[in-house]
Amino acid sequence: MTTYILRRLLLMIPTLLGITLVVFVVMAAAPGGISSQSLVDGLNLEPQAKKAMEDYYNRMYGLDQPAPVQYLRWLNNVSPVGFVFDAQGQMSGFSWVKGVDLGLSFRYGRPVTDLIAERLPITLLLNVISIPIIYVIAIAVGVHAATRRGSRFDVGSGVVLLGLWSVPTMLTGVLLIGFFASDQFWRWFPTGGINRREALDMPFLPHWGALGDVFGVLLLAGLGASVLVWLSLFARARWRALVMGGIGLVLGGLMAQQLQPDHLGLLHISLALVFALSLGGIAASEFAWLRTLTLGLLGCALGVALAAQFSQGVFVRGFLLDRLWHLVLPIICLSYGGFAFLAKLTRSAVLENLLADYARTARAKGVAARDVLWRHVFRNSLLPLITVAATLLPSLLAGSVIVETIFSIDGMGKLAVEAVRTRDRELVLSITLISGLLTLAGYLLADLCYAIADPRVTYD
């Protein structure tokens, strides 16, 4: 295994070189190319200043040299071992410990390392939150649908997942902003960014002005969650659907009242029916996990909303709650397509193994259905999920380009768009290098997970 890992790590080097070479060739062959003249055009400088700026770019980046020389020079800069250049751009020696230098950004005039250090944690935060959400929902829904093939849940979840997977991320982002962040509809969330400027001066955790408000929030949130969880676990399906349908009617009516407070219209009826049917359908579902989680979260949210109406002191969101408030819509955009696709894949993999001979034999021997599902079937169904996991991180990074642009989040995705738009060669190549490194690391991790999930797989 150690030999295999070392061999894969060494193979990453030529792969990364090939990726960066393709990107460099595309940029160099594009109309206008990358030259000092193209960088200073449109700056409205005096001829002397323009000539000085061109000389500066040529000296710093070697833009007056042939394209192969420029690429080799960039490779020398990003390599920890290589030649050293002085302030005039002349070679001054060779060093084994010169370190990695990603260069200076054309547009920002700052080291690329500093820009990436600022933006990369934001994109990683989005993906670290999105990936667990994708896998938890996908595995739960996919396994339950496979074990109840042909049921109402299987058919209904299949239609919903197919619909979610078919909606483009860019359209979803625009619709979410239009309905839930604009003044024309419900302004529940911010239109962009990851925090407000005022949040930097707030305490980290939420803060209430009165101690009674804290107890009120905890009491009502816990009471609401407990009541609806009890309803989900112990009440009959008919009563669950009836109670949750009534709550849905009230919630839909309150949402419509915010838009049309003067009169009762079609909007009130439509929203009330949509919420009533949705919550009633979830409450009547035989999927206890989904039903209990949904009702518990709803009860907690209703308790917090009720406590906010009776609070006496001043409430300060705090940095943490403000950050989470800003991340709700971007996380939805990043997650829904992933778990829709992965849930369908999980259903197919689990269903195929449920019908296999070894599962039928285990059931014939008297093994409990739960043990057959989770100890035998699910483990063999992990292999396609691991395969998708290797491509999930690159796809989420690619999706971050769209989401960060729509929601004005200063992450790696938005930085990549700005770099390509301004032909910032150093920045584009560095982002390509980092993205390729993360992608190859994901593939290596997937290969290692194969051996963990399936003992038959060996790399010795």
Dihedral over Cα of 272, 278, 279, 285: its sign: positive
Between the alpha carbon of residue 434 and those of residues 16, 147, 211, 370, 396, the distances in Å are: 9, 41, 48, 43, 14
Let me know whether 164 and 295 are in one domain.
Answer: no
The domain tally of the chain equals: 3
Residue 206's identity, in one-letter code, is P
Tell me if 145 is assigned to some domain.
yes
For residue 140, which of 314, 347, 364, 313 has the smallest C-alpha distance? 347
168 phi/psi in degrees, rounded to 5: -65, 150
Shared domain for 217 and 300, answered yes or no, is: yes
Helix axes 425-453, 2-29, angle to 10 degrees: 150
Claim to verify: residue 368 and residue 435 sit in the same structural domain: yes
Q: Is residue 2 part of a domain?
A: no
Q: Please give the Cα distance from 390 to 127 (Å, whole number).
A: 14
Domain boundary residue, one of 266, 288, 316:
316
Note whether residue 153 is domain-resident: yes
pLDDT of residue 4: 72
Over the stretch 88-126, which tens digit does the pLDDT of each residue have?
666 677 777 777 777 778 777 788 888 888 888 888 888
Token pair of 407, please? 């929601």
- Domain end among 101, 135, 152: 101
> With pLDDT > 70 as the criterion, what percentage of the chain qualifies?
88
CATH label of the domain that carries residue 175 = 1.10.3720.10
pLDDT of residue 137 exceeding 80, the answer is yes
What is the DSSP secondary-structure string of 326-369? HHHHHHHHHHHHHHHHHHHHHHHHHHHHHTSHHHHHHHHTT--H
- 347 and 421, same domain (yes or no): yes
Domain range for 339: 106-206+327-460
Domain boundary, last residue among 101, 129, 145? 101
User: Is 79 part of any domain?
Assistant: yes
Which residue matches tokens 């057959």? 372
In a domain, 375, yes or no: yes
| DSSP tag of 32 | T
pLDDT tens digits, one per residue of 168-201: 888 888 899 888 888 788 888 888 888 887 877 7
Task: Report yes or no on 53 lying in a domain.
Answer: yes
Does 194 share its domain with 337? yes
Residues 117 and 201 in one domain: yes
Give yes or no for residue 161 having a pLDDT over 70.
yes
Per-residue tokens: 433: 């290098």
pTM: 0.81
Rounded to whole angstroms, the Cα distance separating 20 from 13 reads: 11
Same domain, yes or no, for 297 and 349?
no
Same-domain pairing of 66 and 127: no
| 318-354 and 152-166 helices, crossing angle to 10° | 120
User: Are 332 and 440 contained in the same domain?
Assistant: yes
172 and 225, same domain (yes or no):
no
- pLDDT band of residue 449 (cuts 50, 70, 90) is confident
**Residues 45 and 151 reside in one and the same domain:** no
* Whole-number Å distance between alpha carbons of 61 and 92: 16
Angle of helix 211-234 versus helix 237-259 axis, rounded to 10: 140
Query: Do both 120 and 157 map to the same domain?
Result: yes
